[in-house]
Structure 1
């Protein structure tokens, strides 16, 4: 097994500790945080094995997870990318088997109108028990097992995404090339990031930064894969969703900070729309 660590300018001395404890690992140290996709792309050219596992720092695997997932892919050569059952520290299931995002299903999810449009494919399909193997559109990147042939065929992750949507885009490329993306339920990974991710209600500086990165990647993804019309529809529906949520909070007499968050979100959307030149160019 080859182990390659990409250190995205950490300041906790973890790189030095890793080298002292595991001198045989390959360590790539960046002078700044280059983002999720770009960091993975730095490691991928060094890998010569049949499979590549992208594993987040906040993901913790069971002892037999890697062997089980590789055995499945060996037995199913049409499977190009595989993800596993994700749970939080508390054992609660996290979205693990997902549909591609569209402006419509993002809108339904944000506004809660998915309860009315029950037959629309949501990004996070949580209405089944996640107990069986299922082919899906994409799996989260915290445990992302890729067949090396897929990388050789479709290339590395798109480096224009700083954070969010890089694994979605890569799964889309793999499926277009004829590969299957598979959810494998017989191993679980504890994913801490799913617990601590910023909620839409966060209006802190860090919360705005994370939300801005997500919006930026969303616009880049829609322009790349669906064209300018999809970007316009996404921005329109996002603004409409903020307006609906704003009115709901006013009617409920919520505190001003809960009302302000939707105004802030709309400002971020339009700012990213302009700064990315309508989804054509990355900001970061």
Structure 2
């Protein structure tokens, strides 16, 4: 494309320098030229900061000083990008390998479609690049579910190039800088899971489009950093489902959700023999508290 707006690519790292190195190396091959890479280290304990500084002296590397989670860490990078004249900001997980034209296609779409607040690529599996992880998702506030569109399908059976949805996967999101004045930064009430869902949903409620543009593609390993802490993924996925509903559902939706959650939980415990721990996860969500096992977690109050 003739016009290349300045894009800041934000990559969040936590004890995952090997994935981050692979991600940055894939970015070096893209055909879009006007971009800068900001690596935000979320207080890693594996010498990630030192290794990444030695490996990528052309990248901007920021140390948070504490583990701020997905939203808090990425917001550090977003604030830096906003202060340094970015036009667009790309949130990119460190366990993503990008295709050569991914950024050009996303920028081209966002530049030509002014009512679109955020656009994301088709996200495919890292291990099998023809299998789709997600082409966006639909939010069901009556059930507290966010089913991914086209998950598990082969990419060549999806004929739509533009898929309007409620939410695009946080592995890769391109957003206009100007839109941040209206929707604010990524909400920091979750630590991980559901924060980018709420971010997208807020923009959608304000009348903007959220789009998966399938001409752009990335390949995602999935949960590389999360799985390094035992139980973290299970806990926050359940806890934050309740937090998300409390923050985004209307009264009727919330009542329906609580009834549905009660019946679903009974089914899981009685028939599926799942652990009673799930009850504690939900109660922590209701009370806006975090299990003491995850005392390192920092949950802020960003929401504009």
For 2:53, the equivalent position in structure 1 comes to 19
CA distance in 1, matches of 2:109, 2:244: 30
Q: Sort the Cα spacing of 1:283 and 1:60 in 2 relative to 1 into closer, same or farther, 3 A.
A: closer
Q: Does 1:192 align with 2:221?
A: yes
Q: How much does 1:31 deviate?
A: 2.7
Q: Could you list the per-position Cα deviations for residues 80-105 of structure 1 after superposition, in whole angstroms to 9, with x for gaps in the alignment? A: 10111111122321122211132426
Are the counterparts in 1 of residues 143 and 261 from structure 2 also a CA contact under 8 Å? Answer: no
Q: Sort the Cα spacing of 1:40 and 1:105 in 2 relative to 1 into closer, same or farther, 3 A.
A: closer
Are the counterparts in 2 of residues 134 and 183 from structure 1 also a CA contact under 8 Å? Answer: yes
Stretches of structure 1 that go unaligned for 5 or more consecutive residues are: 107-121, 199-204, 250-258
For 1:90, the equivalent position in structure 2 comes to 128
Q: Sort the Cα spacing of 1:149 and 1:2 in 2 relative to 1 into closer, same or farther, 3 A.
A: same
Q: How much does 1:227 deviate?
A: 4.8
Are the counterparts in 1 of residues 144 and 257 from structure 2 also a CA contact under 8 Å? Answer: no
Are the counterparts in 2 of residues 212 and 272 from structure 1 also a CA contact under 8 Å? Answer: no
For 2:39, the equivalent position in structure 1 comes to 5
Q: Does 1:79 align with 2:98?
A: no
For 2:242, the equivalent position in structure 1 comes to 219
Select which of 147, 162, 170 maps to 2:199: 170
Q: How much does 1:163 deviate?
A: 0.6
Q: Kindly report the root-mean-square deviation, in angstroms, between the aligned alpha carbons of the 2 structures.
A: 2.9
Select which of 203, 209, 218 maps to 1:180: 209
Higher fraction of strand: 2
For 1:255, the equivalent position in structure 2 comes to none
Q: Sort the Cα spacing of 1:138 and 1:275 in 2 relative to 1 into closer, same or farther, 3 A.
A: closer
Residue aligned with 1:161, SS: coil
Q: Could you list the per-position Cα deviations for residues 48-84 of structure 1 after superposition, in whole angstroms to 9, with x for gaps in the alignment? A: 2211000001111012111111112122222210111
CA distance in 1, matches of 2:102, 2:188: 28
Are the counterparts in 1 of residues 137 and 168 from structure 2 also a CA contact under 8 Å? Answer: yes
Higher fraction of helix: 1
- Stretch deviating more after TM superposition (91-100 or 55-64): 91-100
Q: Sort the Cα spacing of 1:267 and 1:21 in 2 relative to 1 into closer, same or farther, 3 A.
A: closer
Are the counterparts in 2 of residues 275 and 283 from structure 1 also a CA contact under 8 Å? Answer: no
For 1:67, the equivalent position in structure 2 comes to 104
